[in-house]
């Protein structure tokens, strides 16, 4: 069953509901992600499921965008980082939210059944519409809960401990 937006809004009604800012595991996962991003110039970067901007604020790029389904999370993100362009929206409408294509897209903790149901094929199509040719897609998810595989060239994959789970970081080139 898909998680209700009302539940997500209630969850995000406090700053840092996941406890990212003070957790050594989250500091490490953020460092690993940032270190694994291919070193190149990025014009437009998008963080899908940015939440309150924990990772988004440190992403490379001339213009960095963050999108999350939670309006409450986006308000916190906007208040804490004025250098990122934040928007409220669903991954299912991602192709309608932006009229640009992205050099780099990051998706962290979004592609789980409670958020996307059985819609992984639709997600692939939507991402494909907004990712530039030769663009980079990075997907970071708890390995035990994640089953998506993007139809792009996988250029790197890193597994690492995250809290009591294993994180799976995949880097694709379109």
Question: Given a cut of 90, is residue 143 above it in pLDDT?
Answer: no
Judged by phi (left if over 0) then psi (alpha if -120 to 50, else beta), residue 16 lies in: left
Question: Given a cut of 70, is residue 11 above it in pLDDT?
Answer: no
The stretch 144-168 carries a mean pLDDT of 90
Look at 36-45, 76-85, 109-118, 126-135 and tell me which has the smallest mean pLDDT.
109-118
In the chain the domains, ranked by start, together with CATH numbers, are 5-35+48-173 (3.40.50.150)
Is the whole-model pTM more than 0.85?
A: yes
CA dist 135 and 21 (Å) reads 29
């Amino acid at each position: 069953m898909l998680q209700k937006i009302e539940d997500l809004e209630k969850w995000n009604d406090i700053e840092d509901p996941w406890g990212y800012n003070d957790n050594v595991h989250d500091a490490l996962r953020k460092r690993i992600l940032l270190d694994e991003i291919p070193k190149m110039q990025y014009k437009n970067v998008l963080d899908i499921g940015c939440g309150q901007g924990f990772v988004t604020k440190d992403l490379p790029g001339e213009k960095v965008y963050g999108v999350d389904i939670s309006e409450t999370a986006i308000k916190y993100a906007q208040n804490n980082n004025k250098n990122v362009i934040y928007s409220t929206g669903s991954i299912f409408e991602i192709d309608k939210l932006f009229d640009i294509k992205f050099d780099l897209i990051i998706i962290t903790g979004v592609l789980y059944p409670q958020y996307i149901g059985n819609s992984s094929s639709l997600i692939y199509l939507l991402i494909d519409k907004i990712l530039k040719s030769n663009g980079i897609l990075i997907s970071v998810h708890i390995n035990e809960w994640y089953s998506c595989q993007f139809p792009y060239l996988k250029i790197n994959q890193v597994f690492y401990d995250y809290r009591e789970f294993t994180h799976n970081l995949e880097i694709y080139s379109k």
